[in-house]
Amino acid sequence: MLLLLAAPATSSRNATSFNPSRASIDIGQAVVVQRDGKIVLAGTSRRGSRYDFALARYTTNGKLDPSFAKGGLLLASVGRGASGANAIAEQRDGKLIVAGRAYVSYHQSAFAVARYTRQGVIDRAFGRDGKALTAFRKPEQGKFSVASVSGVALQRDGRIVTAGVTSDVVRVTRVALARYTRVGRLDVGFGKGGKVEIDSGPLRGVGVRAVALQRDGKVVVVGYGSTGKQNHFTVARFTKRGAVDRGFGNGGRVTTVLGHWSEAGAVAVQADGKIVVAGSVQVVGAGTQLGLVRYLQDGRSDLDFGTDGTVLTDFAVQGPPAVVIQPDGRIVVACGLNGPRRFGLSRYDVDGALDPTFGEVGKVRTKFRAGSAARGVARQRDGRIVAAGSAGGDFAVARYTTEGTLDRSFGSGGTVITPLGPAWLPRGK
């Protein structure tokens, strides 16, 4: 679902360089480190009433990559109206899969997936002219029917799994998945004609924030689901063919009650098959904290992790976090922090304890020149960690050493801020 965003304030940029005619609001949502070490940040750019897919690619030292799209920046209108990207993945051949949502009519949005070459050019061999738009149910008279991808994962055979939600905006939220072949066609061997939409049974009312694949091909989605009047961590699993996996948890769903209210926002599967989920938790008298839960393969909480399978970290979390698991089993989480808004980064040992060798007793706070929030995290082959999101309405990236200090060889002292406003100008919009 598209969000209406406020116009950027002049205080979010250097007053001597800010030019309203070049302004845009840029929200970074996901990041990938390519096999050659280059970093790609994906999200949404808004200028006026227009919303587009937005990509920025950086060289290994944090400079915009001139060999990608136009000077390292790419804006793309997908569908017939507003569009925006929430997820990104790299294929083995270096091509980029970018997924989110796009309006296909005034009252309806669809799952939107686009593929780009290593040079940042739309790959017209994918889907229809490089894009795959998947609408679900038609809107009722005078109402909306929206669909949005929250996460994307690539199978070993190259097929593409997307997960997110469909909604009528007002009341109904449904789990939705779609799987595509390597050429961007709906995979008829998955769900019903390539699509899954759940509005009944244990998964009724569940909202999806992220997706991951197990080694056996099963699909794990996480987000939120109601337990009475409050939402809490919710995990669901589907078979390789898109059916609800009834052997997982309670009929395919596990709900973990944390604090007064909680919502899962990220998931990763360990090498041993255990499932790590991260999200935000409202604790009475202690505000919003970062929560982690680790599950066994059957959906039970892993009692060897934290306290009865859960960990709460005193981080004032803002928005959904992102998670990546290191080869040694340690867990890295990136998030936005409230008051003042910053990038937050934390690392945990395999048992869920904060890693004392990382940052300040396991935690790092990075302040940009304006309010900021990390939404994506990735690990380089050399162990350095990349966190990405937004700062003051611009794309923002930070790179850290393996010890959790800013990598001064990257960008300006370890951080990069990139406005996408100038990329809009040649289009005259």
Residue 118 CA to residue 90 CA, distance in Å, equals 10
pLDDT at 410: 98
Among the listed residues 323, 335, 427, 425, the one whose alpha carbon sits nearest the alpha carbon of residue 379: 323
Measured CA to CA, the distance from residue 34 to residue 42 in angstroms comes to: 13
Report how far apart, in Å, the C-alpha atoms of 420 and of each of 22, 43, 56, 74, 155 are.
8, 11, 9, 9, 32
In terms of DSSP bridges, do strands 207-213 and 317-325 run parallel, antiparallel, or are they unpaired?
Answer: unpaired
Give 353's Cβ-side CA count (13 Å radius).
6
Closest CA to 265 of 207, 200, 209: 209
Task: Confirm if 165 and 178 have CB atoms less than 8 A apart.
Answer: no
Sign of CA dihedral 258, 262, 263, 264: negative
Q: Which amino acid, residue 400? A: Y
Locate 205 and state its tokens.
């009312």
Question: Given the structure tokens 């002049």, which residue do they identify?
Answer: 10
pLDDT string in tens for the chain (429-residue length): 333 322 223 233 333 344 544 689 999 999 999 999 999 999 999 999 899 999 999 999 999 999 999 999 999 999 888 999 999 999 999 999 999 999 999 899 999 999 999 999 999 999 999 999 999 998 888 889 999 999 999 999 999 999 999 998 777 899 999 999 999 999 999 999 999 999 889 999 999 999 999 999 999 999 999 877 889 999 999 999 999 999 999 999 999 999 999 999 999 999 999 999 999 999 998 889 999 999 999 999 999 999 999 999 999 899 999 999 999 999 999 999 988 889 999 999 999 999 999 999 999 999 987 789 999 999 999 999 999 999 999 999 999 999 999 999 999 999 999 999 989 976 644
CA distance 99 to 347: 28
Give CA–CA dist 221/208, Å, rounded. Answer: 6
Query: CA angle at residue 209 from 208 to 210, to 5 degrees?
Result: 105
Half-sphere exposure of 300 (CA within 13 A, CB side): 5
What whole-number distance in Å separates Cα of residue 240 and Cα of residue 250? 19
Here the tokens at position 225 are 């689901």
- The pLDDT score that the predictor gives to residue 316 is 86
Q: Which two tokens stand for residue 40?
A: 């790609």
pTM: 0.93
Q: Name the H helices within 60-186.
A: none
User: What H or E segment, with its residue span, contains residue 67?
Assistant: none
Short-list 183, 180, 175, 220, CA closest to 202: 175
Please answer whether residues 362 and 347 qualify as being in contact, where contact means their C-beta atoms are separated by less than 8 angstroms.
Answer: yes
pLDDT of residue 9: 30
Max distance between CA atoms of the chain, in angstroms, equals 60
Distance CA 256, CA 249 (A): 11
Q: Which residues contact 294 (CB under 8 A, 6 or more apart)?
A: 274, 275, 276, 277, 301, 302, 305, 306, 309, 352
Radius of gyration, CA atoms only, the chain: 20
Residues 6+ apart with CB under 8 A from 246: 252
CA distances for 17 relative to 14, 73, 88, 96, angstroms: 6, 19, 31, 32
363: tokens are 């935690």
